[in-house]
Structure 1
Amino acid sequence: MPLVKHLKDTEPFKHLPEAIFQEIGAASSLKKFPANTLIFKQNDPPTGYLYVIREGLVEITHQTTNGTDVVVDYRQDGAFFGGTPIFTGEPYTGGARTVKPTECYLIPQEILQRAGRDVPNLRDFFTRTVLSRVRQLYSEIVADHSRQALTQMEAYPFKKRLSEIMTTPVTTCGPRETAREVAQKLTEKGVGALLVCGKAKAVLGIITERDLVGKVLGRPEVDPDQVPAEEIMTPHPHSMGPGTYMYEAMSYMMGHRIRHLPILDRGEVVGMVTMRDLMRFRSHKAMLLVGNTREARDFEDLARIRQETLAVAKTLLSETRSTPEVMEILSYIHHGIIRRVFDLCLEQMQLEGKRIPDIRYCFLIMGSGGRREMLLGPDQDSGFIFEDLPEANMAEVDDFFIPLAEKIVTALARVGYPLCHGKVMVNNPAWRGRLRDWRARITDWVNDPEPQKVRYSSIFFDFHPLAGDTSLATDLREIVHQAIREFQGFLYHMMSLDLRYKVPLGLLGRFLLEKSGEHKGQISLKQGGSVYIVDCIRMFALERELNQLTTLERLKALVERNVFAPETAEHIRAAFEALSFLRLRNEIERIEQGEEPDHFLDPYALSKNEQDLLKEAFNAVSKLQEATKRHFARTPF
């Protein structure tokens, strides 16, 4: 990657004059860093350089209030880091460590400082604070909450990434090396597995000690000096990326019954993780929740696991971390429980002598479950897709899937997932069907967008496949895109319905409380705030035919497509995180008081800072609503 050519195409450097580019080209140097090298750590004084990655992978770390290093970002080829101190002179606000061998261009700070005087945008890029007041308040309140430390349950599987625990470098061999040579390498290196690599270090397979015993040593007719590695390896081994969280790897390895997991970055080996590595950080409750859902033998086991999500949520919320990340972890656990419920119900059907039809099907979850934004009290939003079968086959399909659907809904309620008040559940015929049935349903929603249909579509459009043939969900997503493409006016109607309601904040900054009913004197954090962010961002995502599902993934994609400015997106993200934090904390408090979790609270029971946070978040939501209204009011139809 030629440095100057790259900078000319990259913000914020592309606006620099040619003379500066020539200086950068002449004065910059290349430096190689081995894997797992700490380039600088948090609070170190500036090194005097901006780092631009020519080739490699660097993780950016942040130290939490309890001294734990947490990986907050990854930088790959072409990315830069270490720029803010060049203009502020302050210590580094985070650390930088190589994940694999990395080569960086080092640009001297003197050139950039001089350029910053002539091109203010360059200096502003590195020094401006995009943190809105809602972000500042949120950070302070979360830090204070963290210091209170609701619980000290071990939570390593939720904090660590594989890059932080993997072994590097990885022992490898060529495809033609003999079994004896492989055994010698395993013995010399003291490892239980190695990777078989071909040209350009491409991973061809994996050989474990078990492979040697089962395929060579246990077979007298096999000569270990003659049989090559490529004949005893397991080809195309399972792998994960260095940014994967430990809890994901635990579940993945247990599900696939593997003990060694290669860590690849864009096809290149950067490390190896074993089940033993993961078990060194073992948390009993975490392992129970994340891994043992697949081993649960009955619904009572799953109900107990479901109850433990409270302890996990308390732990996660006591750390200084992003609340959407907490929601994703909780969703991962909920998905595992719901999937196991599905499997157990399927087993029950077969034990009753029911034979599953030989068709392609897919079990969907929708709403917050589909978006991976579940908290502690999600209800059931589910459905079935079937392949396009002839009408004559539907009797056989119904004979199996209708009782299966009833079992699923009943079992989920038994485990702890309440029935959906709107009956958006798999036992409702309106939420089952062949692809062509779904196409007809979606076409009806889009072309006749009366309020109830729009509400249904808002839940449905966030669907995610949980079991069965996932390609059916991909086909269904294209049906959604096509329907909206053909009638863009649907998004206008969706906007009109959603934006009839305002955030519960008056002109003088007073909260607008519920005036009667069960929640008199309270406000809804969901219906008054976070749901508008979810809905507005979904509308823009549907318009752009994005396939991202979480609200913040969609927001990031919209920034990349220049729909939102980065600063605007940061305000939206901060408001979403703040509202999610207050919702989750409120749910925890209600459950501990023996009440059902919900999203209503008395805002005047909050501290002054928390009230200010809530008001700032509502203001950000209101601005997003106005921007959405202006945009979709112009939609041609």
Structure 2
Amino acid sequence: MNNTTTAMLVSATLEFLRTFPPFDRMEPDALQFLGEHLKLAFYPKGSLIVSPQTGVVRVFRILQRGKVVVRHAGDANVMEHSMLTLGPGEGFSIGSVAGQRPSTSFYMAISDVFCYELQAEDFFALMQMSSVLNIFCTQYLASLLSQSRQQLQIHFSQHIAEQQTMNSSLASIIKQEPIAVMPDTPTRQVVETMVSRKIGSMVVVDAEQQPVGIFTQSDVITRIVLPGVSLDSPIGTIMSPDPITLPIVANAYDAALAMALHGVRHLLAVDEGGRLMGVVSERDLFTLQRVGLRQVRQTIDAATNIDMLLMASQDVRQLSLNMLAQGIGAEQITQFISALNDTLTRRIIEINLDKHDLYGIEWAWLSFGSEGRDEQTFNTDQDNGIIYICTDIMDREQTQLVLIDFARDVNADLDKCGFPFCSGNIMASNPQLCLTLEEWEEKFDNWIRTPEPQALLNATIFFDFRPLYGKYNLADRLRLTLLRRTRSNPLFLRMMAGNALSVVPPLGMFRDFVTDSDPEHPGTIDLKKYGTRLFIDAARVFSLAHNVSATNTVQRIKQSAPSMNISVDEASAAADGFNFIQLMRLRHQHAEQTQGRAGDNLLRPDDLNEVDRRILKEALRQARKLQRRLKLDYQL
């Protein structure tokens, strides 16, 4: 083969690789090395490419054409629905090649397959050349997630293009020409100018227009009135010298950080020559977004009526969207939504306490479901209850009526603030969910002792409880009872595990994904039922079996892992998978709502870009690993 032909083949190979991660971000020299050392191999349909019996894997393969089915060595039979399929651009046996060990899976061609192959010694050389490949291979899912968040940030920034973010440059924040004076300007003139121009600060500059000081409204008291300084004094004698400056090309994040580090509320933007270009205040940073965290909390805390809280609930959604647009991860966003919704719920409770006499009653407001797990998305209804103590001298029925009357008003106000009534009546105003500690313990005990289908369903909702207001120790006592009784009942845990395995990841043998056949939603996957639920249900069983009191899914996985001999990397990969599907839900719900539709969880995989398709597939594989662990632990 002559040099021209070889160069053409390498060029074609590189063109193919550049369309798939991580090769699309690989360093040019490393990518060239890879293209020059790959060999194209053919495997006819039905060929077994790699298996545990083939010994140490010495070839890294990248699928160029066709499909390869992967079956874990522990799977029962080759037709099991839980197998997964690899498509063009996907590499395989990374772990086996890197670890120089046999594969733990079978890789079979289910159509005629062409693979690019790289020998192990070249693979290791490439790993040393390319930090991109190194990170990708050692932190596979985390690396893909980083790429996805970057694309997500670009996507959502288009939806809020009219709204500046903390990535905005200082040049875009500054709205007016700076007003400045020389050091010898009388202080009286400076103060009068500040009042007439309605500005909160005055910059003092030298002859070259370089800032040498700043004088603010707060300085009037501390530097003029209290010391008794004459207003005829030059401003240079009372100004704050050496003001904090930043280049005009810096962004709002830089400004916020500088203000925090130096404890100031104003800083100055300067050009390359150090000349004053404008003033940036703390207020400017807060008004970049229509609403900021501080304002939301202040609005909620100061609210005296439901109309004010309704505005705050809308602000929570807007601020959450801004976080999504800025590339913040799903775990942080859902916890952020839950935290602010918690604050809003507590304020609604406080407002209603002024109208109801609960004096002498020890009680707590409980949240269940997604709010109980700190995992609320943009669409959430109410799931709540009340736990209380009824002493011997109290009338149990009358006490419950008082609490239910109170809960009815709270539920109604929550509905007004954007948290719809629960269609299943899982609300504190339901007498069956406004119970004493002993009644809750008895209810849980009945479900555990008689794990019938309805009891298992109830457990998936109510066992994820968390106190939001009142006597938190009541919820703590209920948690201890729950963990003690579940650990001592292996049959219940086995039934819970079986329930968790009743839904399998939608990964196909011949297609990447198994989508809904419902004619109303063709080609879609319900990311809640067939995505996040898989992780939530498995994590719940792990936590109950291993005495983990956390209700959050990620925390349950990570805190249960040591007791289950699951490595930190494995636990992190499962958490990343769960968080990515949560991110897809948030993105999809927002897209639906911007089109005037009620947000749902029905995603079309065909609408995803290549990176997100790859990550979704890997995320669902992580769910399958958790389910495989349940099968192993409970012999299902």
TM-score for the superposition, normalised by structure 1: 0.57
**Among 134, 145, 164, which residue is 1:138 paired with?**
145
Alpha carbons 1:302, 1:415 under 8 Å: kept: yes
Aligned to 1:331: 338
Q: How does 1:353-392 map to 2 (within 5 A)?
A: 355-390=357-392
Read off the aligned partner of 1:620 and give its amino acid letter.
Q
Q: How does 1:72-83 map to 2 (within 5 A)?
A: none
Aligned to 1:571: 573
Q: How does 1:592-607 map to 2 (within 5 A)?
A: 592-607=594-609
**Among 295, 304, 318, which residue is 1:288 paired with?**
295
**Among 314, 317, 323, which residue is 2:324 paired with?**
317
Equivalent-residue separation in structure 2 for 1:518 and 1:298 (angstroms): 42
**Could you report, residue by residue, the CA deviation over 1:8-44 in whole angstroms, capped at 9, with x for unpaired residues?**
xxxxxxxxxxxxxxxxxxxxxxxxxxxxxxxxxxxxx
Unmatched segments (≥5 aa) in structure 2: 1-133, 168-259, 267-280
Aligned to 2:618: 616
Aligned to 1:247: none
Aligned to 1:442: 444
**Could you report, residue by residue, the CA deviation over 1:435-475 in whole angstroms, capped at 9, with x for unpaired residues?**
11011101001011112211211121221111111111111
**Could you report, residue by residue, the CA deviation over 1:229-255 in whole angstroms, capped at 9, with x for unpaired residues?**
xxxxxxxxxxxxxxxxxxxxxxxxxxx
Alpha carbons 1:495, 1:628 under 8 Å: kept: yes
- Relative to structure 1, the CA distance from residue 547 to residue 274 in structure 2 (aligned partners, 3 Å threshold; closer, same or farther) is farther
Equivalent-residue separation in structure 1 for 2:528 and 2:327 (angstroms): 23
Alpha carbons 1:389, 1:434 under 8 Å: kept: no
What is the deviation of 1:274? 11
Q: How does 1:90-129 map to 2 (within 5 A)?
A: none
- Relative to structure 1, the CA distance from residue 564 to residue 299 in structure 2 (aligned partners, 3 Å threshold; closer, same or farther) is same
- Relative to structure 1, the CA distance from residue 479 to residue 307 in structure 2 (aligned partners, 3 Å threshold; closer, same or farther) is same
- Relative to structure 1, the CA distance from residue 437 to residue 308 in structure 2 (aligned partners, 3 Å threshold; closer, same or farther) is same
Alpha carbons 2:378, 2:586 under 8 Å: kept: yes
Equivalent-residue separation in structure 1 for 2:166 and 2:399 (angstroms): 45
Residues 1:301 and 2:305 aligned together: no
Q: Secondary structure at the match of 1:348?
A: coil
- Relative to structure 1, the CA distance from residue 398 to residue 278 in structure 2 (aligned partners, 3 Å threshold; closer, same or farther) is farther
Equivalent-residue separation in structure 1 for 2:478 and 2:263 (angstroms): 36
- Relative to structure 1, the CA distance from residue 605 to residue 147 in structure 2 (aligned partners, 3 Å threshold; closer, same or farther) is closer
What is the deviation of 1:585? 0.4
Aligned to 2:411: 409
What is the deviation of 1:483? 1.4
- Relative to structure 1, the CA distance from residue 485 to residue 373 in structure 2 (aligned partners, 3 Å threshold; closer, same or farther) is same
Alpha carbons 1:156, 1:282 under 8 Å: kept: no
Residues 1:465 and 2:467 aligned together: yes
Alpha carbons 1:360, 1:386 under 8 Å: kept: yes
**Among 346, 352, 377, which residue is 1:345 paired with?**
352
- Relative to structure 1, the CA distance from residue 449 to residue 138 in structure 2 (aligned partners, 3 Å threshold; closer, same or farther) is same
Equivalent-residue separation in structure 1 for 2:589 and 2:138 (angstroms): 27
Aligned to 1:515: 517
Equivalent-residue separation in structure 2 for 1:462 and 1:374 (angstroms): 13
Read off the aligned partner of 1:289 and give its amino acid letter.
V
- Relative to structure 1, the CA distance from residue 273 to residue 298 in structure 2 (aligned partners, 3 Å threshold; closer, same or farther) is farther
**Could you report, residue by residue, the CA deviation over 1:347-396 in whole angstroms, capped at 9, with x for unpaired residues?**
233xxxxx224121000111111111111111111010001433851133
Read off the aligned partner of 2:388 and give its amino acid letter.
F
Alpha carbons 2:296, 2:312 under 8 Å: kept: yes
What is the deviation of 1:133? 4.0
Equivalent-residue separation in structure 1 for 2:516 and 2:483 (angstroms): 38
Equivalent-residue separation in structure 1 for 2:438 and 2:359 (angstroms): 19
Looking at CA atoms only, which structure, 1 or 2, has the larger radius of gyration? 2
Alpha carbons 2:323, 2:333 under 8 Å: kept: yes
- Relative to structure 1, the CA distance from residue 623 to residue 562 in structure 2 (aligned partners, 3 Å threshold; closer, same or farther) is closer
- Relative to structure 1, the CA distance from residue 422 to residue 132 in structure 2 (aligned partners, 3 Å threshold; closer, same or farther) is farther
Q: How many residues align?
A: 397
Equivalent-residue separation in structure 2 for 1:459 and 1:448 (angstroms): 16
What is the deviation of 1:536? 0.7
Equivalent-residue separation in structure 1 for 2:137 and 2:330 (angstroms): 19
Alpha carbons 1:388, 1:436 under 8 Å: kept: no
Alpha carbons 2:515, 2:522 under 8 Å: kept: yes
Residues 1:151 and 2:160 aligned together: yes
Unmatched segments (≥5 aa) in structure 1: 1-126, 158-262, 264-270, 350-354
Q: Secondary structure at the match of 1:465?
A: strand
Equivalent-residue separation in structure 2 for 1:279 and 1:630 (angstroms): 57
Q: Secondary structure at the match of 1:595?
A: coil
Equivalent-residue separation in structure 2 for 1:630 and 1:278 (angstroms): 56
Aligned to 2:560: 558
**Could you report, residue by residue, the CA deviation over 1:318-375 in whole angstroms, capped at 9, with x for unpaired residues?**
22332101111111111111112222222233xxxxx224121000111111111111
TM-score for the superposition, normalised by structure 2: 0.58
Equivalent-residue separation in structure 2 for 1:477 and 1:131 (angstroms): 38
Equivalent-residue separation in structure 2 for 1:427 and 1:519 (angstroms): 35
What is the deviation of 1:525? 0.6
- Relative to structure 1, the CA distance from residue 605 to residue 346 in structure 2 (aligned partners, 3 Å threshold; closer, same or farther) is same
Equivalent-residue separation in structure 2 for 1:386 and 1:301 (angstroms): 30
Alpha carbons 1:522, 1:600 under 8 Å: kept: yes
Aligned to 2:402: 400
**Could you report, residue by residue, the CA deviation over 1:80-125 in whole angstroms, capped at 9, with x for unpaired residues?**
xxxxxxxxxxxxxxxxxxxxxxxxxxxxxxxxxxxxxxxxxxxxxx
Q: Secondary structure at the match of 1:308?
A: helix
- Relative to structure 1, the CA distance from residue 435 to residue 274 in structure 2 (aligned partners, 3 Å threshold; closer, same or farther) is farther
- Relative to structure 1, the CA distance from residue 508 to residue 134 in structure 2 (aligned partners, 3 Å threshold; closer, same or farther) is farther
- Relative to structure 1, the CA distance from residue 340 to residue 154 in structure 2 (aligned partners, 3 Å threshold; closer, same or farther) is farther
Alpha carbons 2:400, 2:435 under 8 Å: kept: no
Equivalent-residue separation in structure 2 for 1:374 and 1:315 (angstroms): 16
Alpha carbons 1:155, 1:316 under 8 Å: kept: no
Alpha carbons 2:299, 2:308 under 8 Å: kept: no
- Relative to structure 1, the CA distance from residue 442 to residue 145 in structure 2 (aligned partners, 3 Å threshold; closer, same or farther) is same
Aligned to 1:491: 493
Aligned to 1:629: 631
Equivalent-residue separation in structure 1 for 2:282 and 2:558 (angstroms): 31
Read off the aligned partner of 1:600 and give its amino acid letter.
L
- Relative to structure 1, the CA distance from residue 404 to residue 272 in structure 2 (aligned partners, 3 Å threshold; closer, same or farther) is farther
What is the deviation of 1:129? 6.1
What is the deviation of 1:559? 3.4
Read off the aligned partner of 1:338 and give its amino acid letter.
T
Aligned to 1:548: 550
Alpha carbons 1:366, 1:464 under 8 Å: kept: yes
Alpha carbons 1:327, 1:375 under 8 Å: kept: yes
- Percentage of pairs with the same residue: 24
What is the deviation of 1:562? 5.2
RMSD over equivalenced CA pairs, Å:
3.3
Read off the aligned partner of 1:599 and give its amino acid letter.
N
Q: Secondary structure at the match of 2:451?
A: coil
Q: Secondary structure at the match of 1:291?
A: helix
